[in-house]
Amino acid sequence: MKLKFLNTALTGLILSISCLVNSANAGLILSDSTEVNSSGQSYSEVFDVSGFEDYTNLVFTVNVRGDYGTNSSEFIEFVIDDTSFGQFSYNTAGVTSVVGPSGNSSFDYVMDFSFTISDVDWNSLYANDSQLKVQWNNGPGVDPAAGYYVNFSLSAIPEPSTLAIFALGLIGLGLRRFKK
């Protein structure tokens, strides 16, 4: 009986530890928040991404509030290391947008969107210099107002199999405890 318990506990511990090691790549790589305070505003920042070369499943998440309404010159563009990842406005496919707190649907929108950076793109971006130049550019029709902002983050999402193995390890340990 003791040998069976010891074997199960050891297996659960090994699974849990291996998942913790594998999920060390999960998490936030970089983020920033900037107030929109001028028409057609641009932003550029270089981030050191040393140590993140083995990351996979990268997701760039954006939350903005601003003048991204019905005018075709009201958009935000994201550029990473001089590669454009797209222009986004309130009606771009894949963008979740709601009318902002002012209630004016001609200019005040809160938008949430994300895009993935493929492993091939990440390896190419990372290989240049271990630095990531992130830029966003508001279209010329985007005007500033109090409370307008651009928030973004880049994070790595863990593999589903890693999470499954971790969960199985925890379940095994939990079942052993309740069986006592």
Domain match, 49 and 66 both: yes
Domain match, 2 and 63 both: no
pLDDT category, 23, cuts 50, 70, 90?
Answer: very low
Domain match, 75 and 2 both: no
Residue 25 has pLDDT above 80, yes or no: no
Dmax (CA) for the chain in angstroms is 73
Q: Residue 34: which of 138, 117, 132 has the closest Cα?
A: 138
Domain match, 65 and 118 both: yes
The per-residue DSSP string of 5-23 comes to HHHHHHHHHHHHHHHHHHG
Domain match, 13 and 33 both: no
Angle in degrees, 0-180, between the axes of helices 160-179 and 2-22, rounded to the nearest 10: 150
Residue 179 has pLDDT above 70, yes or no: no
Domain match, 7 and 75 both: no
The CATH number that applies at residue 148 is: 2.60.120
Domain match, 76 and 136 both: yes
For 134-173, what is each residue's pLDDT tens digit? 999 999 989 888 889 999 999 887 666 666 677 777 787 7
Quote the domain boundaries for residue 67.
Answer: 27-157
Question: Is 34 exposed, middle or buried, given 0-12, 13-18 or 19+ CB atoms closer than 10 A?
Answer: middle
Containing H/E element for 4?
helix 2-22
Domain match, 63 and 106 both: yes
Domain match, 77 and 137 both: yes
Number of separate domains in the chain? 2
Domain match, 7 and 47 both: no
**137 against 21, higher pLDDT:** 137
Please identify which residue in the block is written with the tokens 């920042």.
45
Domain match, 8 and 94 both: no
Domain match, 177 and 151 both: no
Question: Mean pLDDT score of the chain, rounded to an integer?
Answer: 80
Q: What percent of the chain is modeled with pLDDT above 70?
A: 79
